Amino acid sequence: MFYKSVFTLLVFYIKQSKKSSKMDACLILLRSIQIADD
């Protein structure tokens, strides 16, 4: 459930800011996964 919500937020973020690089989105996703693992 948590990962699905993170993925949804990530997709929303990418759609909202297409100017931002995909690397930024990857970093956000990795950071979210690290938080989930803690």
Q: Are 29 and 6 in contact (CB under 8 A)?
A: yes
* CB proximity list for 14: less than 8 A, separation 6 or greater: 20, 22, 25
Q: What is the pLDDT of residues 1-38, one digit of tens each?
A: 677 888 888 777 777 766 666 777 777 778 877 766 65
pLDDT number for residue 19: 60
Token pair listed for 5 = 């919500």
